[in-house]
Structure 1
């Protein structure tokens, strides 16, 4: 038997009807027969499933309407076109069958030319639907592949830019990775907090974590004799060092202008770069913002950045013990840091410790 032929399942409790339809269809199609509704459901689950089902309505135990309902309820068989074959000719019965999901209605006694024409039409429609479904599946897979590729390019580009800044300050090591995960931890901890829920949805958290490595991108504009100075900066040098926040924000703002349309992560990255040295009490820089005027993304970055700076050795200081760093963060509650962000840090301190160990220099 030629396997490329469309397959048709005939369902009828009368052997004579099965024989008549089988003889009519077998020269052109692969034909299978079931003499009950229950057997039809079993055969419909074959692999591959039939291309079309000719289903008698009036059958004992399980009639055609019940069989059709179960076929439509099962994802594996829901797409198989079903043509009702019945001795009934009432309009209401035909409407009921079509309403239940049958694609056509053939009355007995059958007329061979009509049966073959309608079967051919339904098989052509199914083939067209299958082609369209395959094309849609291909397009969806291609869109997903390209989106994943674009996301990867975006991530690589972000880290390349961040690493560029890092080359100017080689002692930071895995600082980018640690602060990124600290920020993600804080954001997830605050996701359902009344003060933060409006902002911290899953999408924004991902964009925020993605943007975090660009927080110190402005350091590329700070002269080496200041950025790499092994001792304490003079007041004038400190003023120059503080300009890295504005330099970073301007660079990202320029990238935003060059983009053809708004890019969410760039907007967040700009907020982080510009405002992550602002303090809750208004004593930070570059703008002296206070409280809720400081963008949420920058408030999270502020704590993550300070904590990491405390536990890491720098040219100008030794590393603090992790418990001492924790206490210094707590001491900054309501002064340097948003109190609720500090509470999230306290509640998830074990996560911070684990991140620090996982990405240790």
Structure 2
């Protein structure tokens, strides 16, 4: 493997000497510069395995060069060998603080130069292998984690479909409202990791319906007060089913299940939370779920038009819904339509 050595010295004879010595190291290519600024420009665009720099230079001394060199991307750990005079101990101390790794004193001993340079190149090569190994391990961990997440997501979807067998909602509804939820989160400026978490957890919002009897869950007409009070228990049922899990997705699903029927003005259930007392994920899901439910046909109702559903969201902004969530949803209207078209029931 070819290794590249950068040599910076304002004296031509030193450049020739160090260049000749570098050739003796084997598999090394020397890049010599008498002007430090030119050397820095080159270093910014090329991979380097070792730097040899003199201290005494008129344009820029060795300490200044080190500071500028270490500031370059990818040059933070490149081994650097500084050439100094015997009586320059204070310079050496300052150079160490700036990032020099080793020193040679003038006049340079050829045997010592070759030994020190070779050792620094060996260490640099070992560090590169370690970095490559770390990158490989990181990628393997990422792959393994992705597989775990995929299995978890599959489990969640299957769990949610257990409720679907007893509820006329479709799998397409779950996918649409989950993607609507992620869209709102993006519009609110949430980090991508939070958006993805919401995408995975939102489908569990109604999992508690597995605990509601068929005569109430599947009733074609309007529920009376007693029946509605029973139906409202599905929020608590969902929370109890999912809470306490070691999975962040299931933990998040538990909170969403409990809070997605809370209303911004405090008139919702089960706890009558108001405004920002309601967890943000639950406020987001409330908008996404209601919009898709309104615009979806069910055995007991026809689908609302998109215009009517939007009017409902706008009218409920600040009462039923968090105004910021409504605004984020409507501001991404083109993506809303794309999601509707992509996930058809």
Q: TM-score range by the shorter chain?
A: 0.7 to 0.9
User: What is the rounded CA distance, in whole Å, between the counterparts of 1:299 and 1:67 in structure 2?
Assistant: 55
TM-score of the pair, normalised by structure 2:
0.78
CA gap of 1:300–1:22, structure 2 versus 1, over 3 A, is closer
Is residue 198 of structure 2 the alignment partner of residue 208 of structure 1? yes
Q: Give the alignment partner of residue 116 of structure 2, picking from 115, 118, 124.
A: 118
Deviation at 1:321, TM superposition (A): 1.5
Per-residue Cα deviation, 1:73-118 (whole angstroms, up to 9, x for no partner): 3224443322222456332333344344322221222223433333
Paired residues of 2:238 and 2:258 also in contact (CA < 8 A): yes
Q: Give the alignment partner of residue 36 of structure 1, picking from 24, 34, 37.
A: 34
Of stretches 100-109 and 226-235 in structure 1, the one that deviates more from structure 2 is 226-235
Q: Give the alignment partner of residue 136 of structure 1, picking from 134, 137, 143.
A: 134
Of stretches 136-145 and 223-232 in structure 1, the one that deviates more from structure 2 is 223-232
Paired residues of 1:15 and 1:35 also in contact (CA < 8 A): no
State the secondary structure of the residue aligned to 2:208: helix
Query: In the alignment, what sits opposite 2:157?
Result: 159
User: What is the rounded CA distance, in whole Å, between the counterparts of 1:9 and 1:290 in structure 2?
Assistant: 66
CA gap of 1:313–1:84, structure 2 versus 1, over 3 A, is same
Matches within 5 A, 1:1-361: 4=1, 8-21=5-18, 24=21, 26-29=23-26, 30=28, 32=30, 34=32, 36-37=34-35, 40=39, 49=48, 51-59=49-57, 61=59, 63-65=61-63, 67-87=65-85, 89-190=87-188, 203-224=193-214, 226-232=216-222, 238=228, 240-253=230-243, 256-257=244-245, 259=246, 263-280=247-264, 284-285=268-269, 287=270, 289-292=272-275, 294-333=278-317, 336-338=320-322, 341-342=325-326, 352-361=336-345
Consecutive unaligned residues of structure 2, counting only runs of 5 or more, are: none
User: What is the rounded CA distance, in whole Å, between the counterparts of 1:281 and 1:201 in structure 2?
Assistant: 27
The alignment covers a number of residue pairs equal to 342
State the secondary structure of the residue aligned to 1:154: helix
**CA-based RMSD:** 3.7
Of stretches 209-218 and 173-182 in structure 1, the one that deviates more from structure 2 is 173-182
Paired residues of 2:176 and 2:340 also in contact (CA < 8 A): yes
Consecutive unaligned residues of structure 1, counting only runs of 5 or more, are: 192-199
User: What is the rounded CA distance, in whole Å, between the counterparts of 1:228 and 1:203 in structure 2?
Assistant: 36
